[in-house]
Amino acid sequence: MRRHLEFLEESGHLFVANASGLIAPEKTESLQNQSMVKLRSTDSRDSADNETRRSLVSERGEFKRSAKDKALALEAIAKKVSNCRLCRLCEGRTNAVPGEGSATARVMFIGEGPGATEDELGRPFVGRAGQLLTKIIESGMGLKREDVFIANIVKCRPPENRDPQPDEVAACLPYLNKQIEVIDPEVIIPLGRHSMREFAGVGEKDTISRVRGKVYPVHGRSVIPTFHPAYLLRNPPEKVKVWADIQLAMKELGLPIPKQNGSTP
Ligand code: SF4
């Protein structure tokens, strides 16, 4: 067992307790064993009610850490991501994109994977879609971009911006799950269908259009899937739906909804 744990730790898929506040191996093992989780929409008619999904996301508040320890833990994860070669996506990357934002964020936005600009700069959501996401956060939520945490399901750019493949997602997800555990956000907003499927417990055929507009309670967190900003750039009229989803998130966070000047962000 010890050798197995050492292998996982070396490969970046086990984060052992140390000064940076990461968790003990036995705790990680218990999390990895807690595999089948029933997820429910607040709308009992939703088909997600019948879906059982694998989730490694920890229970909210399960691991208490100071802000400093959280920041150190996120740095340690980012370092592992930058050196990671666990899937083929490492071969074409310029930079890995671990994610960025507040270590104590109350809300996390999670996209699918880095694009060209993100790969070039090593930062998430900094292209045109990222500018729109920043506008949603700042104008729509009245927060600063640095108040939230922004990450992706896969941390390296898929070639030609293709969809991440299941084995790539499986290889990369432990990093994201660890970031969620460390930050411990109240609200998770998956952006786009790949991200939504990892968190909202929906089926392969479910689309964002079908499952958005609802709050999915997952381990004490509120998961609120919505459209990817890149989709909104191609379909501006859909912004009104994202605005509705953002208002749901604000309600979950107990924050006032900023007044809009008659338009969506
Ligand atoms: S996508 Fe994730 S698992 Fe694959 S090489 Fe990059 S960091 Fe590692």
Distance, CA 119 to ligand 1 centroid (Å)?
13
- SS3 assignment for 191-249: ECHHHHHHHCCCCCCCCHHHHCCCCEEECCEEECCECCHHHHHHCHHHHHHHHHHHHHH
Ligand 1 mutation target, pool 81, 173, 179, most atoms within 8 A of CB = 81
Pick the CATH number of 56-253 from 3.40.50.10490, 3.30.70.20, 3.40.470.10, 3.90.420.10: 3.40.470.10
7: pLDDT confidence band, cut at 50, 70 and 90? very low
In the chain, what percentage of residues exceed pLDDT 90?
63
> pLDDT of 151-163, one tens digit each?
999 999 999 989 9
Distance, CA 89 to ligand 1 centroid (Å)?
6
Cut 0.85: pTM above it: no
- Whether 176 lines ligand 1, by a CB cut-off of 6 Å, is no
Higher per-residue confidence, 9 vs 155: 155
Distance, CA 84 to ligand 1 centroid (Å)?
6
229, 130 contact by CB (below 8 A): yes
Distance, CA 85 to ligand 1 centroid (Å)?
6
> pLDDT of 104-157, one tens digit each?
999 999 999 999 999 999 999 999 999 999 999 999 999 999 999 999 999 999
- Whether 155 lines ligand 1, by a CB cut-off of 6 Å, is yes
- Whether 171 lines ligand 1, by a CB cut-off of 6 Å, is yes
Distance, CA 107 to ligand 1 centroid (Å)?
23
The residues with which 216 forms a beta bridge, in sequence order, are: 223
**How high is the pLDDT of residue 261?**
56
**How high is the pLDDT of residue 18?**
37
Ligand 1 mutation target, pool 10, 82, 172, most atoms within 8 A of CB = 172
- Whether 154 lines ligand 1, by a CB cut-off of 6 Å, is yes
pLDDT for 258 beyond 60: yes
pLDDT for 32 beyond 80: no
pLDDT for 212 beyond 80: yes
pLDDT for 40 beyond 70: no
> pLDDT of 78-90, one tens digit each?
999 999 999 999 9
- d(C-alpha 15, C-alpha 10), whole Å: 9
Provide CB contacts within 8 A for 66, sequence distance 6+. 21
Q: Quickly list DSSP for 90-103.
A: GGT-SS----EE-T
For the chain, the structural domain boundaries read: 56-253
